[in-house]
Structure 1
C-alpha cells in the first residue's frame, strides 16, 4: 500500500471529528430558545445550556490530555466518540421526561466527548502524512469547523424548531383548557429524532475507528514526564500569558453570547419568527467562515495584534447599534459580528504563546481552559435580561464590554511588535 493510500482513510475519519465539535457548539443557539419554550424557562435558566457545555470543556480538558498521553490517540478518540454518542442518546429519555436537568446532563456528556476529540484530533491530524504538509492538513481539517458552524443552525432550525410560538396569554388559555402539557411534550419530542440520528452516526464512527488501523499513535506514549512538561500555573507570572488568558476568557464569552441569544434577540427587536431567525444565524456563520480566510489575508499587511484591535473596535460599534437600535438594522448588526470575531481565538492564542519556548505548552493549556468564559457570560446576559423584564437586547451590552477587553489586549500587544504565526482556532 502506498504511503498516500495508507493515510487517506484515517485522515478522512479524523477530519470528520472536527465537524462534530463544531456542530455541538453551534446547535446551542437552537436548543436555547427551543428548550426555553419546551421546559418553560427564563433567560438565565436557558443560558445553563452554554454553561453545561463549556464547564465540561473546563473540567475534562486536562483529563483528556492525560488519557491521550497514557493510552494513545486511537483509544482517546474512541472514548471521546462513545461519550459523545451516549450523550446524544440521552436526549431521548430527557425528552420523554421533559427534564431540563436531564437535558443539561446529556449536554455535559456530549461536551465531555467533544473535549476528548478536540484535544486529540488537532495534534493527531498532523501525524497523518508528510510532516512538511502538517500545517496544511490541520488547516484543511479545521475548515470542517466552519461547515459545522454553518450547518448546525440550518439543520436545527429545520428539524428541531417547530415554528410554533404561542403568546403568554395563549399558554395560559391552554393551561386552563388542559392542553398545555401535551403541547410542551410535543415541543420536547422534537429533539428525539435529530439526536437519535446523531447518536447512530457517532457509533458508526466508533465501529469504523475500531476496525481501521491507524498508521501512527496507536501505542501509548511513555509514562515518564519531565519536570518541564508538568502542568503549572506559574506561567501566569508572564504578563503576556496572563493577559492572553484573560482576553481569551472574555472573547469566548462574547462569541457564545452573541450567537446563543440570537433567535431570542431577533424576535425581540424585529419580531422575526424562530425558523427564519435560524436561517439568518446560518448566514452569519458563513460570514464567520469567510472572516477566517480574509483575516489571514489581511495579516500579510496588518500585524495580528493591530488587526485584533481593529476588529474588536468594529464589534463594539456593531453591538452598540444592536443594543440601542430596533428593527432589521439591529439584527443585521449582530449578524455582522461573527465576520469580525472570526480571527480572535487563534490570534489571541498565537499572541499569548509567542516567543515562550518551553513554557508555550503550559500556556497553551491555560488558553484552552479559558474557553470556560463561554459558560459564564451567557448566564450574565440571561440574568440581565430577566432583571429588565426580558429585554434581551440590552443584554448584548455584555459581549460589547467583552470585546473592549479583547481590544485592549490587542492594543497592548501591538505596541510590542510581536511577530507571530496564527494557528487554526476554535
Structure 2
C-alpha cells in the first residue's frame, strides 16, 4: 500500500473527517426523521422502519456489487482507481441521492423518499469502503489507528448533534409546541438536503483538486466461486421476500409482514451456517468463509448493527406512549442525541488506549474522558435551548460502563462478553420499568454498543491470514442487519400493539453477542491463538 508518511496531509485528513461526520449525522438524524415521517405519512411502525431498511440495505448492496464486480473482472475496482477517487465517486453518488430527496419530498410519496435514502447510503457504502484505509495512509502508518479513532469520534459527534439540527430544521425550534409539530411543512426538509448536496459536492471538489497520495492495496482478490454463490443466495432470497411483501394484499395484516421478516432473518442465518459447514468439509472455493470465527462474526456484525440502530429507531415511538412521558416528535431530540452521544462517550473512552502514556494517566483519562464527552453532549443540547437537567442522572450509567471496561482490561472477548451481558440487563430493566428509569435503561444500550465493533471485528478476522481483506469486506456487508432488525422490531410492535414489549428484540441480539464472545474464544484457542492479546485498535 502506498502511504504518505513523509508529507503533511492534515487538510486532507480534516476533509476526510467531514465525510465521517456526515455518515454519523444522517444516521443519528434518522431517530427524529423516522417518527416525523410516521406521523406525516400515517405509517405503521413497520413502515416507518423502512427508512433504516433502505439506508442500511444500501451498504449491503453497494459492498456486494463491488465484490461481484471485482470477482468477475479478476481485480479489485478500488485498487485500480485508488481510494481517493473511490471517495469522490461515493460523494457524487450521495449528491444525486440528496438532490433526489427534494422532488421525493415534494411528491409526498413515501417510496420516493426511501429511494433517495437508498442512493445516499449507496454513496456512503463506497465512501466507507475507501475512507478507512485512506485515513491510515494520510501520514505515518504507526499512527494510522489514531487517525481512525479521530474520525470515529467525529462520526459519533455527528450522530449526537444530528437529531438536534434535524428537529430545528423540521420545526423551526429545538423545543416545538404541538401546533408547530402539526403544521410543520415537510418541504422544510428541502433546506437540509440542498445544504447536504452542496457540502457533499464541495468536499468532492476539494478532494479532486487537492494533491493527495494515490492509495491502493497490493492485494488482489482470490476467486471464491462457492462464496459468491452463497452471497447471491442471500441476496436473491431477500429480493424474493421483498417482492412478496410488496405484492401481498393489505388484508393479510401485520402478521404476514412479521412472518416475512422472520423468514428473512432465518434465511441469512441458515445460509451462513450451511456455507460454513460445507466449507469445513472442503474449503476450496469458499475463501474466508471456511473460518468459523468469520461466519460467527458476520452474524455478530449483523446483530450488532441491527441492535444499535433498532434501539434508537423505535425509541421515538416508545417516548410517545404515556408510560414513557407522552412526548411528541419535537420533544425527543435530546433523548435521541443522548443515545447517539452514548456511542461517542464509549468511543472517546476507547480511543484512550490507542495513545502511549503511563498506566496511571491512562486510568485517569479512562474515567475523565467519558464524562468530558457527556459534558459536551449536555453543552450542545443546552446551547440549543434544551433543559438538560433530566439527563444528569445518566452519569450513573456511564460509571457502570467505565467499570465494565476496567474489568475487561481491553481484552476483546472478555469485554464483548461483559458488554453483551450488560446489554441484556439494561434491556430487561427497561422492559420491566417505565418513566425515566426505563428511558435511560434503553438509552444506555448506546453505551453498550459503543465499543463492541472493534472487539467483534478483531475476533472475527483473527487467523484469516491472506483472507483477511476478503473477510473484512464480508463483515462490512453484514451492516445489512440495520436493514432487517429495526423493521422486525417495528413489525412486532404493530402485531402486539405494544412498542414497549417489542424491546425483547434487543435482548435477543445482546444474548447472541455474549454467546459469540464465548464461542469464538473456544474456536480461537483451539486454533492456537492468544485471545488475551488480540489488537482491537480502531472502531466503527
Q: What is the TM-score of this pair, normalised by structure 1? A: 0.88
Offset of residue 403 of structure 1: 0.7
Cα deviation for residue 75 of structure 1 reads 2.0
Query: How far off its partner does 1:400 sit?
Result: 1.1
CA distance in 2, matches of 1:236, 1:161: 48
Conservation of the 8 A alpha-carbon contact between 1:30 and 1:161: no
Q: Distance in 2 between matches of 1:80 and 1:27?
A: 20
- Is 2:488 aligned against 1:380? yes
State whether residues 423 and 445 of structure 2, in contact with CA within 8 Å, keep that contact through their aligned partners in structure 1.
yes
Q: How does 1:7-406 map to 2 (within 5 A)?
A: 7-64=9-66, 66-161=76-171, 163=176, 186-217=184-215, 225=220, 227=222, 233-268=286-321, 269-295=324-350, 298=405, 301=409, 303-389=411-497, 391-406=498-513
> What is the match of residue 180 of structure 1?
none
Q: Once structures 1 and 2 are overlaid, which stretch shifts more, 373-382 or 203-212?
A: 203-212
Say how many residue pairs are matched. Answer: 405
Q: Report what 2:237 is aligned to.
A: none
Determine if contact 1:95/1:189 at 8 Å carries over to the other structure. Answer: yes
Larger mean Cα displacement after TM superposition, 300-309 or 345-354: 300-309
- Deviation by residue 1:258-314 (Cα, 9 ceiling, x = unmatched): 111112111122212323311112122222212124355537725211111111111
The DSSP-based 3-state class of the residue aligned with 1:191 is helix
The 3-state SS of whatever aligns with 1:271 is coil
Say which is worse superposed, 343-352 or 231-240, in terms of deviation: 231-240
Matches of 2:66 and 2:484, distance apart in 1: 22
TM-score, normalised with respect to structure 2: 0.70
Task: Indicate how the Cα distance of structure 1 residues 49 and 364 shifts in structure 2: closer, same or farther if over 3 A, else same.
Answer: same
Distance 1:64 1:125, change over 3 A: farther
Aligned mates of 1:81, 1:394 — CA distance in 2: 39
Bigger mean CA deviation after superposition, 61-70 or 146-155: 61-70
**5+ residue gaps in structure 1?**
172-182
Deviation per residue, 1:173-211 (Å, 9 max, x gap): xxxxxxxxxx68x54223111111111111111222222
Residue in 2 that maps onto 1:424: 538
**3-state SS of paired residue (2:539):** coil
Shift of residue 140, structure 1, vs aligned partner: 1.7
Structure 2 stretches lacking a partner, 5+ long:
68-75, 229-285, 354-365, 367-404
- CA deviations on 1:302-352 (whole Å, 9 max, x unpaired) are 521111111111111111122232212111111111111111122101110
Cα distance change on mapping 1:235 and 1:38 into 2, 3 Å: same
The residue matched to 1:190 in structure 2 has which SS? helix
Give 1:121 shift.
Answer: 0.7
Instruction: Give distance in 2, aligned partners of 1:294 and 1:199.
Output: 33
Structure 2 partner of 1:175: none
- In 2, Cα distance between equivalents of 1:406 and 1:226: 29
Give the alignment's Cα RMSD to 1 decimal: 2.5
Shift of 1:355: 2.5
Contact (CA 8 Å) 1:10, 1:212: kept in 2 or not?
Answer: yes
Instruction: Write the distance in 1 (CA, Å) between the matches of 2:66 and 2:130.
Output: 8
Q: What displacement does 1:369 show?
A: 0.9
| 1:227 partner SS | coil
